Structure 1
Amino acid sequence: MSLYASQIKAFKSAEPKTLGAVEIIIGALTVTLSTVVYKLHYHIQREIIILIVNGAQLIITGILLVHAGRRPSKCLVGTNIVLQLVTAAFDIVGFGLIARQLPFRGESYYYRDTEFLVNGILGTLIGSLVLACIIGLVVALLGVYALSVSAIKEMTPIPNATINPHYGSGEPARSAMRAGN
């Protein structure tokens, strides 16, 4: 199914290709930094595995958003809305799990050498998750707007000026019966 011209314009006004590229970069950053923390500290593996899955999901969602920005359709816009909301939910869960670990305190001397590094990486991950959540919610809201409100503009009939010349002029329209009397 295709979109109306106003729906395409409303969806493209959100710059989906740019936001998709930002999501891809955030996803790659999340996967990379999560892998570094996973290698350094094995005792927070559950949280890091969730972040790696979240990063992969961000990359896939970003690719789909870039594709929808190039050739928008109702299916792609609807799929983007759902995926962006799921990604935002995963971002919130990841944020909660990682915020629990800050400030990171190591139990042994080995961990104390890397505390500063891990705290910086976890802070960067939290910032990127917040940014990805905001992007996801904005894209989802603008997608819903593009599918709903913009379609109303296209479906509302616009009277033809030759059929009803008095429409919108401020003076009342005369019926054909009164004009002859």
Structure 2
Amino acid sequence: MSLYPSQMKAFKSVEPKTLGAVEIIIGTLAVTLSTIVYKLHYHIQREIIILILNGAQLIITGIVLVHAGRRPTKCLVGMNIVLQLLTAAFDIVGFGLMARHIPFRGESYYYRDTEFLVNGILGTLIGSLVLACIIGLVVALFGVYALSVSAIKEMTPIPNATPNPQYGAGGQAKPVMNAGN
């Protein structure tokens, strides 16, 4: 099903192609940085696996958002709402799991060399997940707005209705003046 022109305008006002590209970049960054931390430290690997899956989900969500920005339909906008809310939930879980490891302290001498690197990577991951969460919530809100509120603008007039000039159909209404007392 296609969208009304006002619905397309409302959805495209959020620049879905640009935000989708940003989500793809954040997802790629999350996967890359998470695999680096995964290789360096074995004791936080469960949390890092969640971040890798979150990055893959961000890439898929970004691809769907870019496609919806090119040819928006009701199905794609609805799918984007669901995916963006799901991604925002996983982002909240991801940066919640990573926040408890900041500042990172290594248990052995081997880890002390990489503490600064891992703290920087984890800080970057948390910042990018917060940004992805904000983008997801904004796109979901604009999607809901596009599907619900802007459809009212496209309502068709009542058939066989006669326009009443008093209510603006025929221009400015003229006041009626009575002569006399």
Instruction: Report the TM-score, using the length of structure 1 for normalisation.
Output: 0.90
1:109 maps to 2:109: yes
Unaligned runs of 5+ in 2: 175-181
Q: Which residue of 2 aligns with 1:143?
A: 143
Instruction: Compute the RMSD of aligned alpha carbons.
Output: 2.0
- What is the CA–CA distance in structure 2 between the aligned matches of 1:58 and 1:163, rounded to whole Å? 52
Q: Any conservation in 1 of the 2:165–2:173 contact (CA below 8 Å)?
A: no
Q: Which residue of 2 aligns with 1:36?
A: 36
Deviation at 1:159, TM superposition (A): 9.8
- The amino acid that maps onto 2:7 is Q
Identity of aligned residues (%): 88
Helix, strand or coil at the partner of 2:167: coil
Helix, strand or coil at the partner of 2:114: helix
- What is the CA–CA distance in structure 2 between the aligned matches of 1:159 and 1:167, rounded to whole Å? 17
Change (3 A) 1:156 1:120: same
**Residues 36-88 of structure 1, C-alpha deviations (whole Å, 9 max, x = no match):** 00000011011000000000000000000000000000000000000000000
Q: Which residue of 1 aligns with 2:16?
A: 16
- The amino acid that maps onto 1:59 is I
Change (3 A) 1:159 1:171: farther
Q: Any conservation in 1 of the 2:17–2:70 contact (CA below 8 Å)?
A: yes
1:119 maps to 2:141: no
Q: Which residue of 2 aligns with 1:26?
A: 26
- The amino acid that maps onto 2:135 is I
Deviation at 1:166, TM superposition (A): 3.8
**Residues 72-129 of structure 1, C-alpha deviations (whole Å, 9 max, x = no match):** 0000000000000000000000010000000000000000000000000000000000
Deviation at 1:155, TM superposition (A): 1.4
Paired residues in the alignment total 172
Q: Which residue of 1 aligns with 2:177?
A: none
- The amino acid that maps onto 1:130 is V
- What is the CA–CA distance in structure 2 between the aligned matches of 1:156 and 1:93, rounded to whole Å? 45
- The amino acid that maps onto 1:38 is Y
Deviation at 1:158, TM superposition (A): 8.3
Q: Which residue of 2 aligns with 1:134?
A: 134
Q: Which residue of 1 aligns with 2:62?
A: 62
Q: Which residue of 2 aligns with 1:171?
A: 173
4+ long deviations beyond 6 Å = none
1:45-56 pair list within 5 angstroms: 45-56=45-56
Helix, strand or coil at the partner of 1:124: helix
